Chains A and B, each alone.
Chain A
Amino acid sequence: MERLQDKVAVVTGAGSGIGRAAARLMAREGARVVVADHRAETAEESAALVEQEGGRALPVAVDVTDEDSVAAMIASAVGEFGGLHVLCNHVGGTDPRRDLDVLRMDMDELDRAVARNMRSTLLGTRYALPHLIRAGGGSIVNTASVAALAGDVLQTSYGAVKAAVVAMTRSIAVQYGPRNVRCNAVAPGTVLTPALENNVPEDVVASLQRTTALPYLGTPEDIGHTMVFLASDESRYMTGQLLVVDGGMTMQSPAAEGRRAQLPL
């Protein structure tokens, strides 16, 4: 049996990268998927990819910071597919040109970061919950980041709002666990999304590899597989958890990089 057979899933930020991979993998496991993205065209591209693989997808353009838009997204999922079982609050991020260190950061970017990451997760969850409860239970998968776990020299807002996503994940898990709604989060580390692969010079990729314990960088599918696991009944006894999928980046001792040469490889 497919792992998401008879399930309906909404994935936000599904127009590219990890969100697109998650939507495709969920569809491959039998889910009917609402692929939501800020841009209608990229949502449609993702939906077309799902349909090409024999899956069912509905593209939806959404502004995840806007309550009416989020309500409409959830309503179209339920309207098209008759219910809702999985919500993947993937959309997020900050503008790295504005989200700098504390002294230099753009304060408006902090507000945007809160809206794009925290408000969006809370709104999606609010509108999905009644349907998940009506279905007898469901699974919410939030995208956090390793930035929630360790300090950085830049992207102050990003780390802060992703840590907030982890805290919200636990509260949602505690509040709706008794209604059989699970809520977990994924913290991706370095992932070779198409954007990274195309735009980052080779020496930067090499330096990212040095900060990763495993001898390869992650792919969008690596995160997508984790999201499928958390969406499916395979994780039915897991809730309030953060799964760190970072190749050992944050687990790695700061001394490990320098000492690796001493290993008898």
Chain B
Amino acid sequence: MHTPTHSPAGPRSLEGRSTLVTGGASGIGAAVTALFVERGARVVVVDLQQEAGEALAREHGDAVVFVHGDVSDRAVADAAVATAVARFGALDVLVNNASVSRQKPFEEQTDDDWRLAMDTGLYATRNFMLAAFPALIESGHASVVNFGSGAGLNGQPNQASYAAAKEAIRGLSRVTANEWAPHGIRVNVVCPMALTEGVARWAEARPEQYARSAAAVPLGRFGDPARDVAPVVAFLAGDDSRYMTGQTVMADGGSVKLR
């Protein structure tokens, strides 16, 4: 079966697509949301940050619908997918961007720290994939973009729970890429390294450490969520990558060479 269902590439590559972005109210999620809208998609944004989410929805008019809630709650995932289907008539693209974690040495990380990383990272991804599956089967352009991290690939100190959740997400992504491929649903992972609000705070607190880290990146800088990361997510979300599945794509300035 050969199904060349290409939409025009480029500035309107997501024209008419119904998309869902978790953690879309700030940081990389907000950058992804803005680019998706610019390329013609409509976006359900799910986030715990109510004010930021509502402001984003107001800013983008009909193109963005905000669903307030905790991504680790399966009911929130069901409600968000139902909202996408009700408002946009379908769900084509799921971006599992949200996750929260605390950075400390492994032996200081508590059960609660681990639950936080796993619930908001791994289980949230599972929740939204399960909730989205029936709609994705119907899409014909279905793409899931999950978020991994160089922290997992590199074994970044102080990131045990986060790295474990992120590598678990990569495993889950490969398995579902296999299981869902016959339905034409693609599942890929992006590992970004970006100057988010959190990294900016760290840069301010420890400028020397930050400068050393940036210098170690072959491209010499931390990524910008809007210019460096969002276009990679958009590429994986749209038909330009329709022959890619089960892949991990590093948007990290060349930092991690092996995986």
Q: What is A's interface to B at a CB cutoff of 8 Å?
A: 1-3, 25, 29, 170, 173-174, 177-178, 180, 182, 189, 192, 209, 213-219, 221-223, 225-226, 228-229, 233-241, 243-248, 251-253, 256, 260, 263, 265
Contacts and interface: CB of A to CB of B under 8 A. Distances in A.
Contacts of B68: none
Interface stretch (B58-66, B100-108, B249-257): B249-257
Contact of A214 (B181, B223, B234): B181
Contacts of A223: 243
Contacts of B218: 173-174, 177-178, 239-240
A215 B246 contact: no
A245 B243 contact: yes
18 contacts: A173-B254, A177-B217, A177-B218, A192-B2, A209-B1, A213-B181, A214-B184, A216-B1, A228-B240, A229-B240, A233-B231, A236-B227, A237-B193, A248-B178, A251-B174, A251-B245, A252-B178, A252-B246
Interface stretch (B6-14, B119-127, B149-157, B203-211): B6-14
Given A237-B223, A239-B218, A263-B179, A225 B232 contact: no
Contacts of A248: 177-178, 181, 245-246
Given A174-B254, A222-B243, A244-B244, A239 B219 contact: yes
A260 B174 CA distance: 15
A182 B232 CA distance: 15
B182 A260 contact: yes
Nearest to B220: A178
A207 B64 CA distance: 44
A246 B220 CA distance: 31
A226 B245 contact: no
Contact of A177 (B235, B239, B245, B254): B254
Nearest to B186: A214
B235 A251 contact: no
Contact of A245 (B184, B219, B229, B244): B244
B61 to A, nearest CB: 23
B243 A177 contact: no
Given A189-B243, A252-B181, 14 more contacts: A173-B254, A174-B254, A177-B254, A213-B181, A214-B181, A216-B4, A225-B240, A229-B240, A235-B251, A238-B232, A239-B253, A243-B244, A251-B174, A252-B178
Nearest to B9: A225
A170 B244 contact: no
Nearest to A175: B218
A234 B184 contact: no
Contact of B219 (A170, A180, A192, A260): A180
B250 A226 contact: no
B167 to A, nearest CB: 16
Contacts of A1: 11
B201 interface: no
Contacts of A260: 182
Nearest to B6: A221
Contacts of A192: 2
Contacts of A226: 240-241, 244
Among the interface residues A214, A221, A225, A241, which one has the most CB atoms of the partner chain B within 10 A?
A214
A209 B240 CA distance: 20
B182 A265 contact: yes
